[in-house]
Chains A and B, each alone.
Chain A
Amino acid sequence: MSGFSATLRREVLLASRSPADMVNPLFFFVVVVSLFPLAVPPTPGLLEAMAPGVVWVAALLAVMLSLDGLFRSDEEAGVLDQLLVAPVELYFTVLAKVLAHWLLTGLPLVLVAPLLGYMLQLPAEVLGSLLLGLLLGTPTLMFIGAIGAALTVGLRRGSMLLALLVLPLYIPVLVFGAGSLGRALEGLPVSPVMAVLGAMLAMAMSLGPFAVALGLRISSGD
């Protein structure tokens, strides 16, 4: 679809002009994870036991915070109103925007995760599970969060509301994401949990844009 690739190109171009937006969530993720070893007593094994939860909660918060601005700049510039009346289905525009956002902020976060896993003293065998889990989980988080971002786009103090709306929706991903790493740590096969994460991604990616598009239409007062 030309509308799809045009949106994708536009997003990448815009991001390359303000790299800070891209790097901030990554920094947030790294800083939050590195706070934990300082706050937790150095009991052997404690950090390892906490690691799945720490990494996944930090990734989830980083994704959520990065989503706040997903549609806001478009809305302020008036681009959103144009997208709503454009002859391209809003579904594709939304899909492209969220995917571009994931490529620019989510993927770096996934790639840096093994390093953080090493910092949290995770054994090297489970780093693959960590990587794969986040690879499947973060785009799901993006698509779910985009629904909240679409609903709060025109609101002042929207970021607090966004957290209230989106965090309960994130729980299944958190449960299975952290669960996959926990299973890997116990030496259990992770493929069933990864399959569930993949199923959630497929659902979020195929049905999420409908809800996001509807949310954008509602927010624009259409």
Chain B
Amino acid sequence: MSSDAVSRAGLPAHFFAVSLSAGLLALMTWFIWSAPPVARTVWLAGGWTFGVLFYYGALRYPHWYWQTLERWYHQLGSPPHFYRIAGLWLPWLVIIATVLCVVGVVWGLAFAPPHHEQGNSYRIIYLHVPASSAALMAYVAMGVAGLVALVWRLKMAEIAIKAIAPFGAIMAAVSLISGAIWGRPTWGTYWIWDARLTSMLILLFMYLGVIALQNAIRDPRQAGQAASLLSVVGVINVVIVRYSVDWWQSLHQGSSMSMFGTAGSAIHPSMLAPLLLCMFGTYFLFAVTVLVRARTEILWRERKSAWVREEVA
């Protein structure tokens, strides 16, 4: 990319490109890290294809790329634009999310074969794994948005945090509850202080802290900034908690309860297919609820502006 293109597109687009790639990178890393092996391969291949195409295009047509990025930056950063675009997307996202979730859950509950040892109780996986992964993914997204909000003071990033936190809290709760109910017939206990369980509990606490802080501060910009700082600090904390409890537990109880323990573990395609449907369905559900909440928040923050009055009336 020529420096000419950078200077012409201006600093905002440059910042936007950097933050976008950082966010994508974080999300991709997380996906690959947390995915079941088959999905990991699919995502890796997809990611590489996307990356090669993206960077080939960026080198071949730098001006067009910068202009597009700049346009996106301004559109995403501008509340009325975001409100309208989100409004256009929402119906489609609702349809996709509903279809994926319903098909995935019905398939998983009624049509997938039972587990060779756990029998039918493993069917909770179609609820538990998507919820856990959505809770983690939402926290990573919140941390990235927090960083963007702190560094560039982007109003939309603050709104994003406010929209993500309730979804993340609910998903963490779902993950904990379904995990506990699954644990009783499988491990013989509702709860153990295993690293994975403990870090999910802390994740829930962090979500609740972000929500509480946002509600405690009157001024929306100030609340947004404070929540951004807390969510960035929280990302570091969740990572440390995960490893600290792992090390600590090792002395007392073994982490014997891990489910997909080894890297070479396998999940049969007939069980994986509905699981993937459920996972993608949950990600679309994430998009739906976050967009709905973000639109509400935009309306409230901009309630004095003319476009909101037209929109509402």
Residues of A in contact with B (beta carbons under 8 Å apart): 147, 151-152, 155, 157-158, 161, 164-165, 167-169, 171-172, 175-176, 179, 182-183, 186, 196, 200, 211, 214-215, 218-219, 221
Residue from A164, A186, A211, A218 within 8 A of B222 (CB atoms): A218
B209 CB contacts on chain A under 8 angstroms = 164-165, 168
Q: State whether B251 touches A176 (Cβ < 8 A).
A: no
**CA–CA, A176 and B240, complex, Å:** 11
What are 21 inter-chain pairs, A to B, with CB distance below 8 A? Answer: A147-B229, A155-B216, A164-B209, A165-B212, A168-B241, A169-B234, A171-B241, A171-B244, A172-B244, A175-B244, A175-B245, A176-B244, A179-B248, A183-B251, A196-B244, A200-B240, A214-B229, A215-B226, A218-B222, A218-B225, A218-B229
5 nearest CB pairs, A to B: A168-B205, A218-B225, A172-B244, A172-B240, A175-B244
A186 CB contacts on chain B under 8 angstroms = 251
Residues of B in contact with A (beta carbons under 8 Å apart): 150, 202, 205-206, 208-209, 212-213, 216-217, 219, 222, 225-226, 229-230, 233-234, 237, 240-241, 244-245, 247-248, 251
A-B contacts counted at CB < 8 A amount to 71
Q: State whether A211 touches B248 (Cβ < 8 A).
A: no
Q: Which residue of A lies closest to B201 (CB)?
A: A168
Q: Which residue of B lies closest to A157 (CB)?
A: B216
Q: State whether A219 touches B222 (Cβ < 8 A).
A: yes
Q: State whether B219 touches A176 (Cβ < 8 A).
A: no
A155 CB contacts on chain B under 8 angstroms = 216-217
Residue from A158, A164, A182, A196 within 8 A of B208 (CB atoms): A164
**CA–CA, A221 and B244, complex, Å:** 36
A167 CB contacts on chain B under 8 angstroms = 205
**CA–CA, A47 and B222, complex, Å:** 46
A218 CB contacts on chain B under 8 angstroms = 222, 225-226, 229
A144, chain B: closest CB distance, angstroms: 8
Centre residue among A152, A158, A175 by max chain B CB count within 10 A: A175
**CA–CA, A200 and B240, complex, Å:** 10
Q: State whether A169 touches B226 (Cβ < 8 A).
A: no
A76, chain B: closest CB distance, angstroms: 18
Centre residue among A157, A211, A218 by max chain B CB count within 10 A: A218
**CA–CA, A169 and B210, complex, Å:** 12
Centre residue among A155, A171, A200 by max chain B CB count within 10 A: A171
A31, chain B: closest CB distance, angstroms: 27
**CA–CA, A214 and B247, complex, Å:** 32
A161 CB contacts on chain B under 8 angstroms = 212-213, 216
Extra 10 A-B pairs, beta carbons < 8 Å, given A151-B213, A171-B241, A179-B251? A151-B230, A161-B212, A161-B213, A168-B202, A168-B209, A171-B245, A176-B248, A211-B229, A218-B226, A218-B229
Q: State whether B226 touches A151 (Cβ < 8 A).
A: yes
Residue from A147, A152, A172 within 8 A of B233 (CB atoms): A147
**CA–CA, A165 and B217, complex, Å:** 14
A14, chain B: closest CB distance, angstroms: 27
B165, chain A: closest CB distance, angstroms: 13
- Residues A221 and B219 in contact in the complex (CB < 8 Å), given A161-B212, A215-B229: yes
B208 CB contacts on chain A under 8 angstroms = 164
Q: Which residue of A lies closest to B207 (CB)?
A: A168
Centre residue among B208, B212, B213, B233 by max chain A CB count within 10 A: B233
A219 CB contacts on chain B under 8 angstroms = 222, 226
B6, chain A: closest CB distance, angstroms: 28
A169 CB contacts on chain B under 8 angstroms = 233-234, 237
A168, chain B: closest CB distance, angstroms: 4
A19, chain B: closest CB distance, angstroms: 32
Q: State whether B230 touches A165 (Cβ < 8 A).
A: yes
B2, chain A: closest CB distance, angstroms: 35
B154, chain A: closest CB distance, angstroms: 15
Q: Which residue of B lies closest to A171 (CB)?
A: B241
A192, chain B: closest CB distance, angstroms: 9
**CA–CA, A84 and B26, complex, Å:** 34
Centre residue among B202, B205, B206, B244 by max chain A CB count within 10 A: B244
**CA–CA, A143 and B165, complex, Å:** 25
B226 CB contacts on chain A under 8 angstroms = 151, 215, 218-219
Q: State whether A175 touches B248 (Cβ < 8 A).
A: yes
A215 CB contacts on chain B under 8 angstroms = 226, 229
Q: Which residue of A lies closest to B208 (CB)?
A: A164
- Residues A214 and B241 in contact in the complex (CB < 8 Å), given A164-B209, A167-B205, A168-B209: no
Residue from A157, A171, A221 within 8 A of B202 (CB atoms): A171
